[in-house]
Amino acid sequence: MLKQISAVLFYIPSLAFPQIAEQFQPPKANCCLQGTAQALADQLQDWNQLGRYYEGNEKLKSEPIVDGRVVFMGDSITDGWKLAQFFAGKPYVNRGISGQTTPQMLVRMFPDVINLKPKVMILLAGTNDIAGNTGPSTFQQITENIQAITELAQAHGIKVILCSVMPISDYTTRKQSPKRPPADILKLNDWIRTYASKSGAIFADYFKAVVDDKGMLRDGFSRDGLHPNDKGYELLVPVAEEAIQKALR
């Protein structure tokens, strides 16, 4: 019996043992693996990162509601947007979190958007779902999350702006298209545009504002082919502001 089991293991490639290494070059380990494991376990307790803005939300809720408040909900592209710099004097609240996907944002809707009682929510989401940041997602799962986010906001009297997913580029040393195929971005953007019209949301076309003639994020407007630099954000400002003013009217 042992010989038979050994023979089976030998002929199953996925269970085969690796070859003997020519050199001992394992991945570098941290000095304190127990601490690393504990840190990871601690982070997994807040996988949707509700703690990121908890104190800020509590502070805002304790203050008088500001007329014309707008919440920017999204991932790292929103997180890195210096709203006070690009929208000086405006009551705009940043609730972007780097790396997040639509299921994480959906869980954050009450604490980070609805409970702050904004007039408008502007949503930029989907690129990290395409990249599989929190695991594989089907097209239906992504769109249903965006739909749920939209309907939650609208049910609480919040006007919704849905932004098209921004293009990526391979002009920098880090190629973005393998994880975020342009065809997937175009497919999702077509759905967002159509759904915005059907749902009564406003569509803000960030993609059109920064795309070049090759269908990629303009060269020189991003540091890594994914996140806009200040020049890139400058192109988004009038698109966002026009949509916000339309929503407020």
Fold classified for 68-248:
Rossmann fold (3.40.50)
pTM of the model: 0.84
From its phi and psi, is residue 201 left (phi > 0), alpha (psi between -120 and 50) or beta? beta
CA dihedral (239, 134, 141, 158) positive or negative: negative
Q: What is the pLDDT of residue 45?
A: 72
Q: What is the pLDDT of residues 155-179, one digit of tens each?
A: 999 999 999 999 999 999 989 999 9
* Ranges of each domain in the chain: 68-248
- Let me know how long the chain is: 249
Q: What is the pLDDT of residue 38?
A: 73
Question: Which residues of the chain fall below pLDDT 70?
Answer: 1-21, 29, 32-33, 36-37, 39-40, 43, 46
Q: What is the pLDDT of residue 19?
A: 59
Sheet (strand 92-96) strand order: 92-96, 70-74, 120-124, 159-163, 202-204
Both structure tokens of 213: 């003639």
Q: What is the pLDDT of residue 13?
A: 44
Rounded distance, CA 220 to CA 9, Å? 53
